[in-house]
Amino acid sequence: MLIHLSSPHIHSGDSIRATMFAVILALMPAGIISVYLFGWLAVFLILLCMFGCMATEFIALKWMGRSTAPVMDGSAALTGLLLALTLPTSIPWWMALLGSIFAIGLGKQVYGGLGYNPFNPALSARIILLVSFPLQMTTWLIPMHLGSSPIDLYDFSSAWQLFVFGASSLPHALDAITMASPLGHVKTEWSQGIGVSEALRAYDYSYLDAFIGREAGSLGETSALALLIGGIYLLARHTITWHIPFSFIATVAILAAIASMIDPNHYTPPLFHMLAGGLILCAFFMATDPVSSPVTPIGQIVFGIGCGIITWCIRTWGGYPEGAMFAVVLMNCAVPLIDHYCRPTVYGKRGGQS
């Protein structure tokens, strides 16, 4: 029986599930690259996080006495996938599971479920894990195809052993199987007085590798190319708009350009920043999370600029090598304020008449 029947009586056909699945599809290239780089370990991590998130949502909804239909709408699965893409591959399985529980339990359901969380759930979980387990969260496995790792991650049993029992169960020393990410490397070198160009040369850094993804980092951070393909798909499908990604990345690039022109020895160039770390992942997939980002276009640009400024500052002067996730969550705090003050000019009220 149809209850309320106000016009309009036709609909575009869009739905929450379609939106979530479109974003998951957009992350598939990054997922494929991560499997290419990290073999079975990537598969385990992604599956565990997705399953962990959906299970947490189911348990939370049951516990609150609510309908468990939202479990299948794709939002928990998406959070799981995004969380997995931000985690380092050598992370213990229980830490990843804990992250999933934090993401959905503390990052989403405690606020009322879908549509009510003020912060990005995947990023809140990552921050909790980073602050609680700083060592494991900044240890990056050497990816396959760089040639220097002794483990074969394409081998199911060695990947399984690493996943379940941790890196200490392997015969190799930790130093042999891990390496620093480009951002981390430059920061530590600078603290030892070594300038940018020297540090990058020692690291054997190449922009092409950074673009395609043959570098150390979390699953999703590595390949800018794969993420851009997904990002462009989402823009074309009109699931996200250009305002946040563009203003976020452009702000970081502009700040880096100005700084590196002033002191190229201290400050890394803009392209390095754009390809390094989780910037592209955060700009296209995290900052654009509709629930925790502003609604209005002007507000979205303000949000993107704020994220960019904070990211660059943390990366350059802060204690952590990567600032994008903190930036997004910090700007999430400002979203209600931004929404209230950045409303578009209503028809007929130009020039302040009202």
Partner 1 sequence: MIKSFLNKLGFASAPFAGGVTPDMCKWTEDSAIEDCPLPPLFIVPIKQHIGQACTPLVQVGDLVLRGQKIAKSEGYLSVPIHAPTSGRVLKIEEHAIPHPSGMGLTSIFIEPDGKDERDSSLTPMNNWQDADPAELRERVRICGIAGLGGAAFPTFIKLLKDKRHPIETVILNGVECEPFLTNDHRLMVENSAEILHGLHIIMHMVGAKKAIIAIEDNKKDSLLAMQKVLDLADSDAISVASLPTRYPQGSEKQLIESLTGKQVPAGKLPMHVGVLCQNIGTTKAIYDAIIFGHAITDRIITISGDAVPKPANMRVRLGTPMRFIYAQRGLEKFDNIQLLHGGPMMGERMRHPDIPVVKSSTGLLAINNERMKAAHQVEDPCIRCGHCSEVCPVSLVPNLLADHCRNDQLEKAADYNLFDCIECGACSYVCPSHIPLVHYFRYGKGQAAQVRREQSFAEVSRLRSEGRDIRLQREKDEKAAKRRKVRDTLRSESVLNPENDKKTETTSNTEGKK
Residues that bind partner 1 (CB under 8 A): 2, 4-16, 18-19, 73, 112-116, 241, 290-291, 293-297, 300, 339, 343-350, 353-354
For the CB of residue 67, give the shortest distance to partner 1 in the complex, in Å.
11
Distance CA 128, CA 131 (A): 5
Specify the residue, 147 or 344, whose C-beta has the smaller distance to partner 1: 344
How would DSSP label each residue in 99-151?
Answer: HHHIIIIITTGGGTSTT--SS-HHHHHHHHHHHH-HHHHT-EEPPTTSS--SS
How would DSSP label each residue in 56-80?
Answer: HHHHHHHHTT--SGGGGGSHHHHHH
For the CB of residue 327, give the shortest distance to partner 1 in the complex, in Å.
19
For the CB of residue 285, give the shortest distance to partner 1 in the complex, in Å.
14
Specify the residue, 22 or 46, whose C-beta has the smaller distance to partner 1: 22
Specify the residue, 38 or 119, whose C-beta has the smaller distance to partner 1: 119
For the CB of residue 4, give the shortest distance to partner 1 in the complex, in Å.
6
Using alpha carbons only, give the angle 65, 24, 128 rounded to the nearest 5 degrees. Answer: 60
Specify the residue, 166 or 297, whose C-beta has the smaller distance to partner 1: 297
For the CB of residue 268, give the shortest distance to partner 1 in the complex, in Å.
34
Specify the residue, 201 or 350, whose C-beta has the smaller distance to partner 1: 350
For 74, other C-beta atoms within 10 Å of its C-beta total 21
How would DSSP label each residue in 279-339?
Answer: HHHIIIIITT-GGGS-SSHHHHHHHHHHHHHHHHHHHHHSSSS--HHHHHHHHHHHHHHHH
Strand partners, 178: 141
For the CB of residue 95, give the shortest distance to partner 1 in the complex, in Å.
29
